[in-house]
Amino acid sequence: MTRFRTTLAVGAGLALILTGCSDNGGDDTTATSGSATASGTAQSPEYTGALPERPTGGDPVSCTYNPSGDASRDVSAPAATDVPAEGTVGVSLTTSVGPIGLELDRAEAPCTVNSFVSLAEQGYFDDTPCHRLVTSPGLQVLQCGDPSGTGTGGPGYGFDTEYPENLYQPGDAQLRQPVIYPRGTVAMANTGRPGSNGSQFFLVYADSQLPPSYTVFGTVDEAGLAVIEEVAAEGDDGSMAAGGGAPNRGVQIESVAVSG
């Protein structure tokens, strides 16, 4: 079995966040959803340097969660049919450094929110570290969601990216152009391979430049951002060659509560 480490490269104004996950050799993970996807004669959004306009939601969708490597914890994949594609979900992270509140947006990424909520309700994120902090200009994020704390852990399944990547035509050059992921964004990390979303996510505490290939699925509240900024002020240990490292002030997610 090959393990892909979460890497986060910073340079030339373009930052990349790649989540580590396991791969079983020819078992690429894929997923589909009923959310809007660029296809046929539809055109990609015009490049503005900002994220494209978010989806407004609609009818329930179907998702696909394919097996991918070993699960860091014993959890089941979420239900994959009649997944809501509108409305929001409140999430409260109780952490060792203070509370962090999230609001997840089903319209942006129904399959992603569905997975996150399922994992949270199964206790997957409880007593897990936020293993990576990046404080570089142009990329300022705290990355969490790997119970192993190694940057290679996942839930044992994978699924495809959603908003904003699914608004672009496949192979569009804009998918390699940086856009601003605004302060307060919650997004998924991935390995850069199709279907490699899993459980690792990152919290953007200052406007960051990334290509639009990382699923946006919610926002962080102001109190939570203040907590993250306090952690960021103490820096990281620089242990990751591609940029950033473990926070000098350790962050442990103690429990996760879901509402709505």
Domain boundaries, the chain: 2-34+58-259
Q: How confident is the model at residue 164 (pLDDT cuts 50, 70, 90)?
A: very high
Q: What residue type is 40 in one-letter code?
A: G
Q: How confident is the model at residue 260 (pLDDT cuts 50, 70, 90)?
A: confident
Query: What pLDDT was estimated at residue 43?
Result: 87
| 92-110 pLDDT per residue, tens | 999 999 999 999 999 999 9
| 28-80 pLDDT per residue, tens | 322 233 344 444 446 899 999 999 999 998 999 999 999 999 999 999 999 99
**Residue whose structure tokens are 């239900």:** 79
Percent of the chain with pLDDT over 70: 84
CA–CA separation, 42 vs 23, rounded Å? Answer: 33
Q: How confident is the model at residue 161 (pLDDT cuts 50, 70, 90)?
A: very high
Q: How confident is the model at residue 24 (pLDDT cuts 50, 70, 90)?
A: very low
HSE-up of residue 147 (Cα within 13 Å, Cβ side): 20
CB of 102 within 8 A of CB of 184?
no
Residue 4 has pLDDT above 70, yes or no: no
Query: What pLDDT was estimated at residue 70?
Result: 94
Q: Which two tokens stand for residue 191?
A: 């390995």
CA–CA separation, 214 vs 113, rounded Å? Answer: 14
More confident residue, 238 or 3: 238
Residue 18 has pLDDT above 70, yes or no: no
Query: What pLDDT was estimated at residue 243?
Result: 84
**Residue whose structure tokens are 């986060």:** 8
- In the sheet that holds 185-188, the strands lie side by side as 128-129, 252-259, 88-95, 98-105, 216-220, 185-188, 201-206, 139-144, 132-136
CATH architecture, domain defined by 2-34+58-259? Beta Barrel (2.40)
Provide mean pLDDT across the span 187-214: 97
More confident residue, 8 or 219: 219
CB of 66 within 8 A of CB of 29?
yes
Average pLDDT, the chain: 88
